[in-house]
Structure 1
Amino acid sequence: MDSEQPSFADVEYGNRRRVSKREQFLEQMEATIPWQVWIDLIEPYYYLDRPGKTGRKAKPLAMMLRMYLLQVWFNLSDEGVEDAIYDSFAMRRFLGVDFTVEQVPDATTLLHFRHLLEKHQLGQRLLAAQNDLFEREGWIMRGGTIVDATIIAAPSSTKNATGARDPEMHQTRKGNQWYFGMKAHIGTDAGTGYVHSVTATAANVSDITEAVHLMRPDDTAGWGDAGYLGVDKREEITGDPHLAGVTWHIAARKSQLARMHPHERAIESRKAGVRAKVEHAFLIVKRDFGFTKTRYRGLAKNLHRLHVAFALANWLMRARAVALTTAAA
């Protein structure tokens, strides 16, 4: 999204001998994300040049979308992403800001844009649009879904304006460790590992309860870890004409593995090989995008961010797959 006329800073920056990892990443995303598809989806809800609108002219939608994605990718606050754009030439160029004619949208403008996206649940629609595009291009292999969940921590301190912890977050134990926060539940395409469904609950909600919301209408098989044992016997599954016919491949408990015959352990190994695909998306969202802690209060705002983050994770996985294919050619 460069300016038509390069500035002196553009020329100076272009003479560098080394390209940073951040710049490589942003160039990769620039070339991968279907910008016009996402802009067309958001535009009906955006107030750019709205009749009767008074005050300062709104920033271009493309610029606000890019600023919001920078916030998600680099796990920044509203003020943090504004400062980062001023500090980083790579971010400024990605945003398309020319300081000779305009300034970076301020934190309040980004806050209003994020609230607009949340109000209309556009994060979920961005993920749905990405899934539709992947299916049209033949990048998704229908028929099977892997379900899994991960804990995302929330601030447990009561030293805040309300003097209380977030009431929508809860405590849970995993192994010998206690956590306070929420869970992100995802359904991923068993063939490719692309995420197609996302839900969010408090951390104390059992993984198995969300399985019904993560399966696609045409799925014939489901995979999950031992936390989903008994999913095929649950009322919401047996009572659904389609889901009742799904074949479930659920991992055995670790305590059972030692007593298994070699061929049974081989079956478990094959199950694990399929389930491993679900970890790629979690790895990107939690390690690369830094979504290990909630940034907002309540499940709704964090779920919106999860929808956007997993849509972006899918595009990053797609870009990496294309790069590997190109390198091997």
Structure 2
Amino acid sequence: MGQRGFWDEQQRVEKLKTKKPVLERLSQSIPWESFRPLLERGYAQERKSNAGRRRIDPLILFKMLVLQQLFNLSDDDTEFQVNDRRSFEEFVGLGVMNDIPDATTIAFFRERLRKAGVIEELFEKFEAYLRSQGLEARGGQIIDATLVPVPRQRNSREDNKEIKENRMPEGWDENPNRLQQKDLDARWVKKNGINHYGYKNSICIDVEHGFIRRYAVTPANIHDSQMLPMLLDPENTDDYVWADSAFAGERFEDLLDLGGFESCIHEKGSRNHPLSDAAKERNRIKSAIRACVEHVFGCMTMSMGGKMTRKIGLEKNKAWWGLKNLTFNFLRYLLRANRAFALA
């Protein structure tokens, strides 16, 4: 093969663009500029003088956070990948002659958005956009939760006992560097005989379109059913609510009835009172619809780099998973847009 010339490289770039990769379609389909006012508010800070480096466009940093969630990258990996990959560089709106924001800048930007409470507003902003595109919540709603693993803490039994009782172990406050590496909010929970450590991402999706409409992030030991009032979506055009047997019980049925919802929650057997064949058949029919929420968690696990989260503390995990849920909705919107195009 001969030496490649400039026009050969240009042809290669154009050929790649014709393949319509995910990042190219995200760039074209998501209304990025509509997020700018919120990003500006979250990133705003007073400058003592006009000296120093010019501030980075917050939309560039926001797209880097989206990339981070698409592939479950650390801040350092995000910096490296944007430097290394042409598609990442073009997606965030930078060229080969631009400086790439470093890992510290990415982390700083995410923290500013968190402290300003902007991440939840970004999620709601895209929800409003979906409604404007005729993708409002329809067909009822499905509620479920997934465990979010975080790195396990190597604490003594005494320290864990103090943490479980929401007290700081003795001596920890004397070493600030050590303390900032300790997660005082993550909890242990046993599921199907296996111990898990971390948090939970509880979500509500609509049946017809499959978008996440509401979410809540909690320590792992909080029971799924406690999040039901926070997750119910009154904007859904239909009243049906699907959930697994963790939400079964008279008080939850009463809560749904009080809110004007119609329960499609799985029935639950008990010791010496197993489910009848008729109840099992009803659960089987409900599962055909309820299983749609598992596709959301499957996408996060298989297509978005997994659920392992390396953030310390409940508030930082809320911010991380708020961005993760928003990014999932971006991908879901691409899928719906492709279907609409195919049917046109």
TM-score of the two chains, using structure 2 as the length reference: 0.81
Match of 1:314 among 302, 307, 329: 329
- Unmatched tracts of structure 2, length 5 or more: 156-176
Q: How far 1:291 moved relative to its partner? A: 4.2
Instruction: Give per-residue Cα distances to partners, 1:6-46, cap 9 Å, x unaligned.
Output: xx979715426974999711112112211011112212333
2:211 maps to amino acid: Y
Which position in structure 2 is the counterpart of 1:82? 79
1:121 pairs with one of 117, 124, 140: 117
Pick from 178, 203, 222 the counterpart of residue 241 of structure 2.
Answer: 222
Rounded Cα–Cα distance in structure 1 between residues aligned with 2:105 and 2:311: 17
* 1:178 aligned counterpart, secondary structure: strand
Which residue among 180, 194, 219 is the counterpart of 2:197? 180
Q: Quote the Cα distance in structure 2 between the aligned partners of 1:43 and 1:241.
A: 42
How far does the alpha carbon of each residue in 1:151-190 deviate from its partner, in whole angstroms, 9 at most, with x for none? Answer: 0111114289449752211111111211111111111113
Cα offsets for 1:181-202 (capped at 9, x unmatched): 1111111113222111111111
Q: Does 1:233 align with 2:251?
A: yes
Q: What is the aligned counterpart of 2:290 among 259, 268, 275?
A: 275
Report the CA distance between 1:65 and its aligned residue.
Answer: 1.5
CA distance in 2, matches of 1:60, 1:68: 13
Corresponding position of 1:303: 318
Check if 1:130 corresponds to 2:102: no
Aligned residue for 2:169?
none
> Given residue 248 of structure 2, which amino acid in structure 1 is its aligned partner?
L
Distance of 1:10 and 1:120 partners within structure 2: 47
Question: Which amino acid is 1:15 matched to?
Answer: R
Secondary structure of 1:15's counterpart equals: helix
Match status 1:206 vs 2:223? yes
One-letter amino acid of the counterpart of residue 322, structure 1: A
* SS of corresponding position for 1:158: coil
Counterpart position of 2:186: 169
Contact 1:124 1:307 in 2 (8 A): yes
Partner of 1:5 in structure 2? none
Shift in Å at residue 316 of structure 1? 0.9
Question: Which TM-score applies when normalising by structure 1?
Answer: 0.84
3-state DSSP of counterpart to 1:292? coil
Contact 1:223 1:271 in 2 (8 A): yes
Q: CA deviation at 1:315?
A: 1.9
2:159 match: none
Q: Contact conserved, 1:281 with 1:314, CA < 8 A, in 2?
A: no
Relative to structure 1, the CA distance from residue 95 to residue 14 in structure 2 (aligned partners, 3 Å threshold; closer, same or farther) is farther
The DSSP-based 3-state class of the residue aligned with 1:105 is coil
Work out the CA distance in 2 between the residues paired with 1:265 and 1:138.
36
Amino acid at match of 1:233: R
Number of aligned residues: 315
AA in 1 matched with 2:93: G
Equivalent residue for 2:95, pick from 98, 102, 117: 98
CA distance in 1, matches of 2:298, 2:309: 16
Contact 1:22–1:90, Cα closer than 8 Å, also in 2: no
8 Å CA contact retained: 1:23, 1:90:
no
Shift, 1:97, TM fit? 1.9
* Distance across 2 between alignment mates of 1:9 and 1:54: 39
Contact 1:158 / 1:164 at 8 angstroms: preserved in 2?
no
Range moving further from structure 2, 318-327 or 161-170 = 161-170
Identity %, equivalent residues: 26
Q: CA RMSD in A?
A: 3.1
The superposition leaves residues 126-174 of structure 1 with CA deviations (integer Å, 9 ceiling, x where unpaired) of: 1111111112222123462211000011111428944975221111111
Letter in 2 for 1:130: F
Q: Please give the per-residue CA displacement for 1:88-143, whole angstroms capped at 9, x wherever unaligned.
A: 1111121222233x211112221211111111122211111111111222212346
